[in-house]
Amino acid sequence: MANSVIKADNLTLAYKVDEPVIKNSSFDINSGSFVFITGPSGSGKSTLIKSFYGALKPVGGELVIGGVSLHDIRPSKLNFLRKYLGIIFQDYKLINEWTIKKNVMLPLLIAGYSKEVCENQAKKLLKHVRLSHKADRYPLELSGGEQQRVAMARALAHNPVIILADEPTGNLDDYSSNLIWNLLVGANEQLGTTVVVVTHHIPSDIRISYRHFHIEDGTIYEVS
Amino acid sequence: MKSLKNHLSLILPLFSIFFAIEFYIVLDRVIKDYENGLREDYIVLISADREIDKEDLTPYIDVESLEEIDSKSLVSRLEREGISVDFESLKKFMPRFYRIKLEHFPTGDELKRIEDRLKRVEGVKRVETFENSHNKIYNMLIVLKQISKIFLAITAIISTLLIFKQMQVWYLEHRERMYIMELFGAPLWMRSGVLIRLAIVDTLLSLAALYGLFYYLLNAKIMQNLLGVVSLKISLSQIMVDMALLGVFGLAVTLFSVIVVSVRQVGQ
């Protein structure tokens, strides 16, 4: 039986204590799963994924990621946990003062790999996302689709246990969208990485078995 | 260009505060040396109708030395001016004169107290403190000290404000980068790495600039002439020691600022 890597028990998330975004929800996600989380705008999809990487702490219930409870997690432990996560943001969150290559190297530098190892891995990943020729450019010199491909490469750089993707293909061209879906599926199938994707629409042509959670009125349902 | 601006915006306030502190330290040292010189030269004269020794005075004032003035020398001075004097008969009526050297250079108020107390000593008839010339010199020293204190205070306030402004600039410039690094699990020291390097380099550059300025000033002919007039010496080795202390102080200030900025960013 697969291990649970994300487990929520009566989870309540809120920005203001008396206005919960997610209410008393329980679910668990096993290691190696591919999960879609859908829901209308403002339903709390991004809030939920934020809580997975510890940017928002639960106000009620319990949330355990990789065996670590996020309720009263210390900053040093949160940093440790985040080293095992690959995060893709809707707004890319690339460091604009750094080159593309250095951006991809970031998780590896944090993990303490040598510069040479980081550079080789970054080059390999940039080749995967078809951006080798732009390795020394800066994020603002790239299109939105290219920036998201860089963010994808960065999320994969350190072979994370879990990839969390928040609307990874929103507003992207077909070429970049397909490339990103292929990489996410590839990471899940070939490396056994758990992938959690928040999206408005599940691509119709995706060829992988997945679980689907839907958020409505603050409650999370599993869609069978 | 942006990088130069980034450095200058920290180097300038640091340099100003270092300069103000070093200027104050040097001036204080010069004033102390000058005070010591004055103390060496400064004496209080008393006349008494009996023999006085140091123990008679110590209950009243802090005396470094007490020396009786040979009355013969006073009489010979009169003789040099053409006044014939019968020393032996004059000696019977003449008071004894003493030269008192004090342990420290007194303030104007202290001088008045010393005069009053000396007058209370049994046998002391007259006290001459040369109050007017003393006060002129002493007031000049006080004015110099006060000016340097005001200068230090103003510079410290302006520099502190500039450092606060720089902290705000750092926060705005580096917040996004530090947040992204935090999301990928970078520890605080790694997120602040750029700022820590900037703080160390800029502190060292400010100190180098300050040393250069003092080296130039102390070797400038005009400054050497000026110090020569008042028989004062300022050693560069002493300034090097000051620089080391200022370096520690500067690093403490800048690294503290970096920590404040980094901690303020957490979770932003």
Q: How many CA atoms lie within 13 A of B27 on its CB side?
A: 18
pLDDT digits (tens, 9 = 90+) for A138-197: 999 999 999 999 999 999 999 999 999 999 988 788 888 999 999 999 999 999 999 999
Partner residues linked to B45 by β-bridges:
B99, B128
Amino acid, single-letter form, for residue A30: N
The average pLDDT across B255-266 equals 88
B177 touching A (Cβ < 8 Å): yes
pLDDT at B200 over 80: yes
Instruction: Answer yes or no: is pLDDT of A85 > 50.
Output: yes
Burial of B27-60, coded b for 16+ CB within 10 Å and e otherwise, reads bebbbeebbeeebeebbbebbbeeebeeebbeeb
- The partner residue sitting opposite B190, judged by closest CB among A87, A97, A110, is A110
Which residue pairs from B218-226 have beta carbons closer than 8 angstroms and sit at least 24 positions apart in sequence?
none
> Which chain A positions have a beta carbon within 8 Å of B182's beta carbon?
79
Query: What are the pLDDT digits (tens) for B5-47?
Result: 878 888 988 998 899 888 888 888 887 877 777 777 788 888 8
Query: Given CB atoms, is B242 within the 8 Å cutoff of chain A?
Result: no
Burial of B73 (0-12, 13-18, 19+ CB in 10 A): exposed
Please give the residue of chain A at the shortest CA–CA distance from B185: A79
Contact of A77 with chain B, judged by CB distance below 8 Å, is answered with no
Weakest mean pLDDT among A109-118, B107-116, B198-207? B107-116
pLDDT at A197: 95
Q: Enumerate residues 6+ apart whose C-beta is below 8 A from B119.
A: B127
Residue B73 or A116, more confident: A116
State the Cα–Cα distance between residues B151 and A6, nearest whole angstrom: 62
Asked if A55's CB is within 8 angstroms of B186's CB, the reply is no
Residue type at position B229:
V
Listed by start position, the domains of chain A span 1-84+162-224, 92-159
* pLDDT for B231 beyond 70: no
DSSP string, B89-125: HHHHHPPEEEEEEESSPPPHHHHHHHHHHHHHSTTEE
What contacts B267, CB < 8 A, 6 or more positions away?
A55, B182
Q: Does 3.30.200.20 match the CATH number of domain A1-84+162-224?
A: no
Q: Which residue has the tokens 């958020």?
A: A215
- With CB atoms and an 8 Å threshold, state whether B183 touches A94: no
| A1 has pLDDT over 60 | no
Q: Identify the pLDDT of residue B75.
A: 73
Residue B267 has pLDDT above 70, yes or no: no
How far is the C-alpha of A68 from the C-alpha of A74, rounded, in Å?
Answer: 11
In this predicted complex, what is the ipTM? Answer: 0.89
